[in-house]
Amino acid sequence: MTLNRIVALLTPLVFAPLAGVISTWAANNLPGVTLPPDKLEEVFIAGALIALAPAAQWLHGWQKYEQRQDEAILAANAGAAITSVVAAEAPPPEEDGDLLDEEFEDLDDLDDLDDFDEFEDPSIFEEDQSVPAGG
């Protein structure tokens, strides 16, 4: 049995009545506290409520914790599913470079582009031209 179920089961059955009994005993036996006998029932109820409030707060926090854990697990599973789908759709990598060699075979036939090595207007690239600063 998990801890949250133990708290949910034992708090109203054991802890709250025990807190009521302890607070009633303290109201009867502690020096300086004088209560009429008809007010002891109210002290019992107040003591029981004092025990129920922290248990309810703890159970609320526990449920929030479990919700965050479930969301984290769902996010991790979704991320793993996306990764497996992407990996399944991706083509396997080629072990040798034959694919690249086939794609770029026609690039060797570009010898007629050698004429473009020389610039048509060399004055554009002369170093003695300077641009005045600021204008």
Rounded-to-integer distance, Cα 26 and Cα 32, Å: 11
Determine, yes or no, domain membership for 10. Answer: yes
pTM metric for this prediction: 0.48
List the domain range (segments joined by +) for residue 14.
Answer: 3-88
Reading the block at residue 88, the tokens are: 């399944």
Determine, yes or no, domain membership for 75. Answer: yes
Determine, yes or no, domain membership for 48. Answer: yes
Map residue 95 onto helix, strand or coil: coil
Predicted local confidence at residue 18, as pLDDT: 92
Q: Number of folded domains in the chain?
A: 1
Determine, yes or no, domain membership for 135. Answer: no
Predicted local confidence at residue 37, as pLDDT: 83
Determine, yes or no, domain membership for 95. Answer: no
Question: At residue 128, what is the residue type?
Answer: D
Determine, yes or no, domain membership for 65. Answer: yes
Predicted local confidence at residue 4, as pLDDT: 78
pLDDT in tens, 28-67: 888 888 888 888 899 999 999 988 988 889 889 988 988 8
Predicted local confidence at residue 45, as pLDDT: 92
CB neighbour list of residue 20: distance below 8 Å, 6 or more residues apart? 43, 44, 45, 47, 48, 51
Residue numbers in the chain where pLDDT is lower than 70: 85-135
Integer CA distances (angstroms), 133 to 121, 124, 130, in order:
25, 19, 9
